[in-house]
Amino acid sequence: MHWLREGLYLNRRKICLTRKKLYNGVLTAILHLNMIDEVVKVIENDYTSALKVYDEMTNEKPSDFRPYLCRGFVFTLLRKNDEAEKQFDEYRKLVPENHPHKKYFEDNAKIFLKKLDKGGIEATI
């Protein structure tokens, strides 16, 4: 009977771990959906709403680097360069060195800033 208890314990543990992975996956998906919705708001020049949601995301999960990166872009569009730089600094502190998209984010940020400086992207304030 000892082996039966061990088997039941291992089975329960496996179920709990599976549920935890599923829960984390759902949370991640929700965060990604929020990011997509807010990117659309930025595209539509609804910067205030986008910033509010990025603030909420930061309050929910302060270690997530994505809202800081997005806020940096929004503040750059609003020509609030000091605030944008603070957000980009926080992003750089939080993004993991081995993140698969880190170089992509940084390369696109440079391109974005160059286009903005050359007047290729207009900000409506």
Q: What is the CATH number of the domain that holds 50?
A: 1.25.40.10
pLDDT, tens only, 69-124: 888 888 888 888 899 889 989 988 998 888 777 777 777 677 767 766 766 555 44
Average pLDDT over residues 47-61: 89
CA distance 108 to 113: 9
Q: How many domains does the chain have?
A: 1
Domain that holds residue 66: 2-118
Residue 27 within any structural domain of the chain: yes
Average pLDDT over residues 39-57: 81
Q: How far is CA 18 from CA 6, 11, 30, 107, in A?
A: 18, 11, 18, 36
Whole-structure pTM value: 0.61
